[in-house]
Amino acid sequence: MSRPYRSVLYIPASRERALEKARELTADAIIFDLEDAVSPEEKVRARDLLAGVLAGASYGARARIVRVNGLETEWGAGDLAAFAEHPGVDAVLVPKVNSPADLDAVAARVKAPLWAMMETAKGCLNAGAIAAHPRLEGMVMGTNDLAKELGARFRADRLPLMSGLGAAVLAAKAEGRAIVDGVFNAFKDEDGLRAECEQGRDMGFDGKTLIHPAQLAIANEVFAPSEEEVALARRQIAAFAEARARGEGVAVVDGRIVENLHVASAEALIGKAEVIAALAV
């Protein structure tokens, strides 16, 4: 695992104070937003401000992802031109991707790896082809836009969104891409956020997109392997090695079987914990 995406914080690129503050925040990645969080009157100012900030400021290990406006809008081409070869950008996030052709159009104009917003019904139906795009690095669920398009109601269990979430997770995993869950709007509801982070983690998401710094700690905790998980992983690896030494192919730990596939998962979990621990130093 190259880098973690437990916490992916949106910052409206028009908010100078928040851009500044983010250099100190414990986010694994930042999405500098030029799209929905910026009003039409502020689009061009925000683009210029962001280009300047990213040229100067250091964001340390945080991945710097710029969410541009769609090419069908009056700002899309200008956004892409401003960040086409910008050295302070790790990836460009394309909104409302419906098909791989939407990524082709952006790939032709920028050098950075691409991320795709999964937030339309068409996009979710084409998730496999989108994930397979050669320039794609990761996917971000846009659950607010998806719910709007589906006419889905908000429910704590997110059952109405499951088909879209599941399609995107399957696609990302099939192609080895990163995938990050949608935002939790009620940013003062910590219990609600934790429950939704846990649901996303259990589904296989790498992390969660966030809208407020107060959400960072919970996402970082939920999407990191716990000490108990790491300890169990070590015991599974050891037990399996002992079983192999006896000429057996299956071990038993805590009443559950451990086969080589579980060992591979245990090793991946320990690797992830090590990457996260290295970030903290």
| Candidate segments 3-11, 44-52, 97-105, 127-135, binder of ligand COA by CB under 6 A | 3-11
According to CB under 5 A, which one of 4, 123, 138, 142 is a site residue for Mg ion?
142
Nearest distance from C-beta of residue 232 to ligand COA, angstroms: 35
Spatial separation of the C-alpha atoms in residues 238 and 242, rounded to whole Å? 6
Q: Tell me which residue has its CB nearest to Mg ion.
A: 145
Q: Which of 158, 183, 269, 166 is nearest to 8 (CA)?
A: 183
Nearest distance from C-beta of residue 174 to ligand COA, angstroms: 26
Taking the least distance from each CB to ligand COA, the nearer of 119 and 206 is 119
According to CB under 6 A, which one of 7, 8, 12, 266 is a site residue for ligand COA?
12
Q: Which does 145 bind (CB under 5 to 8 A by kind): ligand COA, Mg ion, none?
A: Mg ion
Spatial separation of the C-alpha atoms in residues 216 and 26, rounded to whole Å? 7
Q: Which does 94 bind (CB under 5 to 8 A by kind): ligand COA, Mg ion, none?
A: none
> Which residues between 137 and 196 bind ligand COA (CB under 6 A)?
183
According to CB under 6 A, which one of 36, 42, 190, 229 is a site residue for ligand COA?
36
Class of residue 159 by CB neighbours under 10 A (exposed 0-12, middle 13-18, buried 19+): exposed
Note the residue count of the chain: 281
Q: In angstroms, how far is the first alpha carbon of the chain from the final one?
A: 18
Q: Does 9 bind ligand COA (CB under 6 A)?
A: yes
2: tokens are 């190259």
Taking the least distance from each CB to Mg ion, the nearer of 141 and 258 is 141
Nearest distance from C-beta of residue 153 to Mg ion, angstroms: 18
Spatial separation of the C-alpha atoms in residues 281 and 275, rounded to whole Å? 11
Strands 251-253 and 207-210, by their bridges, are unpaired
Task: Using the structure block, give the residue that is written with the tokens 């320990």.
Answer: 270
Q: Does 207 bind ligand COA (CB under 6 A)?
A: no
Taking the least distance from each CB to ligand COA, the nearer of 220 and 236 is 220
Taking the least distance from each CB to ligand COA, the nearer of 9 and 276 is 9
Tell me how far CA of residue 69 lies from CA of 36, 85, 171, in angstroms. Answer: 8, 17, 24
- Other C-beta atoms closer than 10 Å to the C-beta of 26 total 15
Q: Which does 37 bind (CB under 5 to 8 A by kind): Mg ion, ligand COA, none?
A: ligand COA
According to CB under 6 A, which one of 8, 11, 82, 219 is a site residue for ligand COA?
11
Largest CA distance in the chain: 71
Spatial separation of the C-alpha atoms in residues 281 and 276, rounded to whole Å? 9
Interface residues toward ligand COA, by CB under 6 A: 9-12, 17-18, 21-22, 33, 36-37, 183, 211-213
